[in-house]
Amino acid sequence: MSVLVTGCAGFIGSNVCRMLLEQGQTVEGVDNLNDAYDPRIKRWRLDKLTATPNFRFNNLDISDHAALKPLFETGDPAGEPAFTGVINLGARAGVRPSVEDPWIYYEANTLGTLNLLELCREFGVKKFVLSSTSSVYGDDTPRPFNEDADTSRPLSPYAASKKAAEALVYTYHHLHGIDATVLRYFTVYGPAGRPDMSIFIFVRAIAEGETIQLTGGGKQERDYTYVDDVARGTVAALKPMGYEVINLGNDSPVTVGDTIRMIEHCLEKKAIIEHVPMHPADVQATWADVGRARQLLDWRPEVSVEEGIRRCVDWYRDNREWAKEIR
């Protein structure tokens, strides 16, 4: 028996797979290697996994129910399901692009989640972990964001699609007894991170002498959370808990302007900045209340933003020959 991890070539997904494999688990990975961002970095992550025993890769799209079904049909003839649990990290991420093409976000994030839940129901998989986002809290929620806060006013189709996926997870827990955990991630960053996220963009731009388009004067606050911390919390969420929604954040917001200054310090190079207006889908600040994660998962963030940014810069320097071409 194994754990099914969707989005296995993604930033968080590849690190979750790595941690599961280090624990001796068998991992069935699913990813469609789409071009939402440069697939070269996805293949770099995937190459690290495919060289590891007990990992199998399937190039599949979670919005295609028929393509996924054979994976679940490989259970034990005695009736044991194929997987001890499903971790659904396969998603279209990104606030601003979802405004331009909301349909593809609903196919991946909402329909994809529904397909996986239906297959868990049909084939008796009892544990389901969903990756969600701090974006569901919108811009009117008191900080720090608590899991019980109102999430009925998402500001982007991305956030709305994740909120819809959360609702489906609860429904399947209620109707079919699936043990389900929803994890709300807060601005995850780290080495080999998503090239459409701010820290990767800033590191590359400063290193290469390119201009950073900075919105809101750099005063927005983000609860940057290091990827190893997030992956560790995600693996811990495989434990039986009934139904829970849990924040995974750093509980220590940093302004975007201060983030740029940290990267400048690590690179010993000044940023070239062009100030532009805020995007209407962006939130002003994020800040996670992580009390529930401490209580239920015995989890707390361990990597400071200063240390995490240093590791990002070191990774970029080590891989600059090809990473500088990624957009």
Residues labelled as active-site residues? 158
- Residue 321: how many other CB atoms lie within 10 Å: 7
Burial 166-196 (b: 16+ CB within 10 A, else e): bebbeebbeeeebbbbbbbbbbbbbbbbbbb
Tokens of 294: 């401490």
Residue 210 CA: distances (Å) to CA of 112, 192, 207, 275: 37, 20, 8, 14
Q: Is the dihedral of CA 136, 134, 63, 26 positive or negative?
A: negative
Tokens representing 7 are: 């989005």
Is the peptide bond prior to 142 cis by the omega test (within 30 degrees of 0)? no
Instruction: For residues 171 and 11, give the distance between their C-alpha atoms in angstroms, rounded to a whole number.
Output: 28
Pairing verdict, β 2-6 and 55-59? unpaired
The kind and range of the H/E element at 177 are none
User: What is the distance between the alpha carbons of residues 198 and 252, in angstroms, rounded to a whole number?
Assistant: 17
Cβ(280)–Cβ(234) under 8 Å? no
Count of CB atoms within 10 A of residue 250's CB?
A: 28
In the chain, DSSP finds a helix count (H) and a strand count (E) of 13, 13
Question: How many other C-beta atoms are found inside a 10 Å radius of the C-beta of residue 104?
Answer: 17
